[in-house]
């Protein structure tokens, strides 16, 4: 079973404008509201890909109940812990004329550590050996930035494979707990390492350095330029098809969903990278916070190019450790 954990869920509100005019009145062409947060987005994308998951996390106040109800209405199983406060609202403003996306993100409700302890016990009851746990998004105020590391350590001891998709201090703190898979983008990698390696292929070398920390699958996403993946089995580059679309909302979450679906069913990392790339590209064709559409994924899958990257074993062994 695949589980997703979202400690800081959101109500994602998307507004589409012909042109965003700061300091002026703006007429909305289209709007929609969806349950959001990285883990939740992965659960939504998994459902579109025909794969079940259990969504867990915190649900604060009436907004949190909206998130729960919206997921249940879509047929996604949930087990959120209700806490005081208000689940945050994130606003995405899409400027059609200039093809730009602006996001306004609230910090989320203050969360007491004893609520985290209760949620951890609930998560422990759900997990079994062989399961997958996707941990994603920001840490709400009140919780330590090392909270993900403790969850990963618990899951590892249970034989659960963890996928981590976060950034900043939570990412840096959790990487030492050895999640099974991570999917940072270039900016997140630079923040983790301090800088990209100075070499002919800095992204490959950066992936090698993270892999050397004990992360089995390292996927570095580069948006429309594709992604590079390093595992103990080898390294690959994926090139998604060129699309006349630039919606980046949820593309990384769709990529994680596609990869986890394949890996959880025994597929190879190369197959996972291919489906993940197709799902991410399909998400770029939707408007705002909508998940990828199955028909788009099927249509784009044959157009994704995945090539092995030649590299010597010595290069991997020489990867410089990261001081985390």
Total number of residues shown for the chain: 324
Tokens 């090539």 correspond to 307
Residues paired with residue 155 on neighbouring β-strands, in sequence order: none
Q: 60 with 83: CB under 8 angstroms?
A: yes
State the greatest distance between any 2 C-alpha atoms of the chain, in Å, as a whole number: 60
> 219-256 as b/e, with b when 16 or more CB fall inside 10 Å?
bbbeebebbbbbbeeebbbbbbeeeebebbbbbbbbbb
CA separation (Å) from 137 to 16, 105, 158, 183, 201? 24, 12, 23, 12, 28
Q: 291 with 44: CB under 8 angstroms?
A: yes
Identify which of 230, 226, 237 has the alpha carbon closest to the alpha carbon of residue 280. Answer: 226
Say if strands 234-239 and 227-231 run parallel, antiparallel, or are unpaired.
antiparallel
Residues with Cβ < 8 Å from 117, sequence gap 6 or more? none
Q: 108 with 115: CB under 8 angstroms?
A: no
Residues with Cβ < 8 Å from 200, sequence gap 6 or more? none
Among 12, 205, 253, 296, which one carries the catalytic annotation?
253
Establish whether 253 is a catalytic residue: yes
Residue 181: which H helix or E strand, with range? strand 181-182
Active site residues: 253
């Amino acid at each position: 079973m695949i589980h997703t954990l979202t400690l800081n869920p959101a109500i994602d509100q998307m507004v589409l404008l012909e042109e965003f005019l700061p300091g002026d009145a703006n007429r909305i062409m289209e709007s929609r509201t969806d349950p959001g947060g990285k883990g939740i987005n992965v659960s939504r994308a998994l459902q579109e890909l025909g794969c079940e998951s259990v969504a867990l996390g915190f649900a604060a106040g009436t907004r949190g109940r909206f998130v729960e109800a919206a997921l249940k209405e879509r047929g996604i199983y949930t087990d959120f812990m209700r806490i005081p406060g208000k689940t945050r609202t994130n606003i995405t403003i899409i400027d059609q004329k200039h093809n730009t996306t602006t996001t306004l993100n609230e910090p989320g409700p203050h969360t007491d550590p004893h609520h985290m302890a209760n949620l951890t016990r609930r998560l422990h009851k759900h997990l079994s050996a062989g399961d997958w746990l996707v941990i994603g998004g920001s840490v709400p105020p009140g919780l330590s930035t090392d909270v993900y590391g403790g969850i990963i350590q618990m899951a590892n001891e249970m034989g659960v494979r963890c996928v981590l998709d976060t950034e900043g201090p939570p990412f840096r703190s959790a990487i030492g707990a050895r999640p099974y898979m991570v999917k940072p983008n270039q900016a997140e990698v630079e923040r983790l390492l301090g800088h990209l390696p100075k070499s002919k292929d800095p992204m490959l070398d950066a992936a090698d350095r993270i892999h050397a920390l004990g992360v089995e699958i390292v996927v570095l996403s580069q948006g429309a330029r594709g992604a590079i993946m390093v595992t103990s089995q080898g390294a690959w580059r994926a090139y998604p098809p060129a699309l006349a679309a630039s919606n980046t909302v949820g593309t990384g979450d769709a990529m994680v969903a596609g990869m986890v679906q394949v890996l959880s069913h025994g597929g190879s990392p190369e197959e996972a990278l291919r489906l993940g790339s197709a799902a991410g590209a399909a998400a770029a064709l939707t408007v705002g916070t909508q998940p990828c559409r199955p028909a788009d994924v099927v249509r784009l899958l044959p157009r994704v190019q995945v090539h092995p990257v030649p590299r010597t074993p010595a290069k991997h062994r020489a990867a410089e450790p990261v001081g985390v």
